[in-house]
Amino acid sequence: MEKTALIYEGKAKKVWSTPDETLCIVDYKDDATAFNGLKKGTIKGKGAINNRVSNFMMRLLAEQGVPTHFVEELSDRETLVKKVEIVPLEVIIRNISAGSFAKNYGVKEGIVFEEPTIEFSYKNDDLGDPLINSYHAIALGLATKEEIEQIKAMAFKTNDVMKAFFKGLGIDLVDFKLEFGKTADGSIVLADEISPDTCRFWDSETHEKLDKDRFRRDLGNVEGAYEEMLRRIMGE
């Protein structure tokens, strides 16, 4: 399948149309941003790592009954996916306090929750992706009530699968962000990516951060953390 036209360029990926109007090609970049694009940089090799990591996770989730956009890995950085209309919500699941949760509620990072939490942000760069509740999302017409219920169930199922998988690799899955899309026939599938850009991964023993927080917080060894996650996931 070849690329026909560039239909979207985001901070970390490009999306191309293909001769099949139901399919797109995602092309992962090494570019990294944080804080709504205020901080910019490059993480060498990130595009190829995120492509492989995300496809691995999407395959695992599909096997466990979570429908995804994944079709086929085409190259190092390119993947064929189902064309979807992205639901403009960032769906965030948390197992351990960190990041904006710790900041917003004035608690330390590292509190292990009894139950995972879920929250939504309205995907809108001009507004800075504000937190939004499900009633607001429905009122704004971002999704229907039924779609929200389906998204919540799929997000918690994704957490169950991922948490158990990463525990086996000696990694605590702290939190992560998901995006969902609607296919031409109206069904909701997991879309976007699952990678060290979109998850917080802490080594279970040393609590070392193995994700994009190394870039956001200038912790050094950013490339090393991405490579370590790829190595653990692929067993290489």
List Cβ neighbours of 4 (8 Å cut-off, separation of 6 or more). Answer: 16, 17, 18, 19
Cα distance between residue 22 and residue 188, in whole Å: 14
Residue 109 tokens read as 């990072």
Cα distance between residue 73 and residue 81, in whole Å: 9
Q: Output 90 or 147, the one with its CB closest to ligand ASP.
A: 90
Based on the shown chain and the rule CB under 6 A, indicate whether residue 227 belongs to the binding site for ligand TMP: no
Residue of 23, 20, 7, 1 lying closest to 82 (CA atoms)? 23
Applying the rule CB under 6 A, the residues between 177 and 236 that interact with ligand ASP are 212, 216
Cα distance between residue 5 and residue 7, in whole Å: 6
Minimum gap (Å) between residue 226 Cβ and ligand ASP: 14
Applying the rule CB under 6 A, the residues between 155 and 184 that interact with ligand TMP are 175-177
Q: With both helix axes pointing from N to C terminus, report the angle between 46-63 and 145-167 in degrees, rounded to the nearest 10.
A: 110
Binding residues for ligand ASP, how many (CB under 6 A)?
8
Minimum gap (Å) between residue 129 Cβ and ligand ASP: 8
Residue 75, binding choice from ligand TMP, ligand ASP, none, Cβ under 5 to 8 Å by partner class: none
Residues in contact with ligand TMP, shown as a per-residue x/- string from 73 to 92 under the rule CB under 6 A = -------------------x
The number of beta carbons lying within 10 Å of the beta carbon of residue 153 is 11
One-letter amino acid at 134 equals S
The answer to whether the beta carbons of residues 68 and 190 sit under 8 Å apart is: yes
Residue 35, binding choice from ligand TMP, ligand ASP, none, Cβ under 5 to 8 Å by partner class: ligand ASP
Residues in contact with ligand ASP, shown as a per-residue x/- string from 7 to 46 under the rule CB under 6 A = ----x---------------------xxxxx---------
Minimum gap (Å) between residue 18 Cβ and ligand TMP: 26
The number of beta carbons lying within 10 Å of the beta carbon of residue 8 is 12
Minimum gap (Å) between residue 13 Cβ and ligand ASP: 11
Pairing status of strand 131-132 against strand 188-191: unpaired
Cα distance between residue 103 and residue 7, in whole Å: 36
Residue 168, binding choice from ligand ASP, ligand TMP, none, Cβ under 5 to 8 Å by partner class: none
Minimum gap (Å) between residue 99 Cβ and ligand TMP: 2
Residues that bind ligand TMP (CB under 6 A): 92, 98-101, 175-177, 198-200
Residues that bind ligand ASP (CB under 6 A): 11, 33-37, 212, 216
